[in-house]
Amino acid sequence: MGIAIKHKRYDDNFIPLLIGHVLLGVAIYFFEVIARVYFLGVLFYFLWHIITGANKDKTMYVLLGCAYIVGGEVFLRMTKGYFFYETGKYFVLLMMLMGIFYKGVSGKAYPYFLYLILLVPAVIVASITLTYDANFRTNVTFVLAGPVTLGIAALFCYDKKLTQQQLLKVLQYLVLPIISMTVYLFLYNPSIRETISNTASNPATSGGFGPNQVSTALGMGMLVMVVRIYMQSPSFFLKILNIGIFAAISFRAIVTFSRGGVFAAIICVLAFLGILFIKSNYKVKNQIMGSTFVFLFAISATWLIASVETGGMLDKRYANQDSLGREKGDATTGRGSLFMEEMDGFLQEPLFGIGASRTKDIRVQETGQQLPTHNEVGRLLGEHGLFGIIILLILIIKPLVFRATNSRNYFFYAFLCFWFATINHSAMRIAAPSLFYALALLDITNVKKKNIIHRKQLI
């Protein structure tokens, strides 16, 4: 069984980094200006290491930098740490381009070049179809910044070699800013009961920011902490600590009352645990089952506390009921209607689509409301037409073909599920789905046998 990781001494520095990021969350709550200083420091740190680091380490620095920025993207938007809204995506894009400059791309990644080229026709169509009042540059970059970031990230990551231990470190860097955000949320909204009056998504429990994005970011944290519980808890203390952090992140995720990020996390966790269980030997499977009982108890306790704190509103939210217990008519909270509008665009212009951001432009014309898409699949079809179908086929088929010859990445299906689930409830508002998709394309190499030490505490 190849899951064992070197644990002569637990030396991933998680404890001091955890303490530092808890204190960071406290500091930013009391002095929000620190958020911008923090972002500039993070940016300088990773860009410096990418530029000056040894060539053999550049891939790792790029991935660590991107993971850290993605983990902190929603937190920094929430606390005004960014200079402009899409800063996170642009710097992930910059770091990936730097990685391509230093490390090149695999010749097998050519479908992603085609993917990027296929995004262009919608821009040309948009230059014709967008109304005079619509700002062409900002509207087009808003909807295409995410897809372009995904394409560049996929080009860089495709077939890049990483060990499992290195990938776990990337995930660690991803979750650290999410821990800071969780601390910030507890300080921002310590009393849940006072801010819950209905079953709608709640900005007050989301740090005063968009519940959908906060839920998605916390869902990422839930997935990473599950990975740590099962693969990076070599002692009883660390197992309890990781479960405690998972419970805290999960609590804040479910009380946003935005279900998308939570459902995405559940799907990804099941995908990860399924692969882990299948690839384990009999002894490790028993350990997984034992840990799962403790894990399920923690989940149940977290839900019970959240349900009590929300006066039962949480249960009604997930049962698709209003505050009086009546069933709501639309379980998708309007997303289904938006999707059908995007399909109308596809039916009108099936070949080239109606143009990038034109769907939002039409909604402004007809309703006066700025309603961006929540579903990237619908947006691709409506705004890119036939090219959107080809784009989706590339994005789905290419990773599966890659997986056929590389099955060592235990997180492949979890990462791919996160990408697909997220783009179907939150489109590509944040950079996270781009990064997770790209991480699924890494070639995870086996650790040399002399470095493997089998320990019962792993699971």
Q: Which pLDDT belongs to residue 3?
A: 45
pTM for this predicted structure: 0.92
Q: Are 132 and 395 in contact (CB under 8 A)?
A: no
Q: Distance between CA atoms of 295 and 272, rounded to whole angstroms?
A: 14
Q: What would the two tokens of residue 160 be?
A: 């890049």
Which phi and psi (to 5°) does residue 119 adopt? -75, -20
Q: Which pLDDT belongs to residue 454?
A: 43
CA dist 29 to 18, 207, 211, Å? Answer: 17, 10, 18
Element (H, E) at 445: strand 443-445
The count of residues in the chain is: 459
Q: Which pLDDT belongs to residue 8?
A: 42
Closest residue by Cα to residue 362 from 388, 380, 335, 383:
383
Q: Which pLDDT belongs to residue 283?
A: 87
Residue 134 — pLDDT band, cuts 50, 70, 90? low
Q: Are strands 161-163 and 443-445 parallel, antiparallel or unpaired?
A: parallel
305 has a pLDDT exceeding 70? yes
102-116, 306-320, 357-371: range with lowest mean pLDDT: 357-371
Element (H, E) at 420: helix 412-423
Label residue 126 exposed, middle or buried (CB < 10 Å: 0-12, 13-18, 19+).
buried
Q: Distance between CA atoms of 102 and 407, rounded to whole angstroms?
A: 27
Angle between helices 110-118 and 386-405 (to 10 degrees): 160
Q: What is the average per-residue pLDDT within 97-122? A: 95
The dihedral built from the CA positions of residue 35, 245, 265 and 232, taken in this order, carries a sign that is: positive
368 has a pLDDT exceeding 70? no
Q: What would the two tokens of residue 292 be?
A: 């799962």
Angle between helices 87-103 and 58-78 (to 10 degrees): 180
Q: What would the two tokens of residue 195 be?
A: 């801010």
Q: Which pLDDT belongs to residue 2?
A: 39
332 has a pLDDT exceeding 70? no
For residue 58, give the amino acid letter: K
Judged by DSSP in three states, 161 sits in strand
459 has a pLDDT exceeding 50? no
Q: Distance between CA atoms of 362 and 127, rounded to whole angstroms?
A: 14
Q: Which pLDDT belongs to residue 191?
A: 86
Q: Which pLDDT belongs to residue 4?
A: 39
133-142, 285-294, 327-336: range with lowest mean pLDDT: 327-336
Q: Which pLDDT belongs to residue 450?
A: 45
Using the structure block, give the residue that is written with the tokens 């991107």. 66
Q: What is the average per-residue pLDDT within 338-367? A: 80
| Domain spans in the chain, listed from the N-terminal domain onward | 29-104+161-190
Q: Which pLDDT belongs to residue 284?
A: 86
Q: Which pLDDT belongs to residue 406?
A: 87
Per residue in 369-393, is it b (16+ CB within 10 Å) or e — as a string? eeeebbbbbbbbbbbbbbbbebbbe
Judged by DSSP in three states, 208 sits in coil
Q: What is the pLDDT of residues 169-222, one digit of tens each?
A: 999 999 999 999 999 999 999 988 888 888 888 899 999 999 999 999 999 999
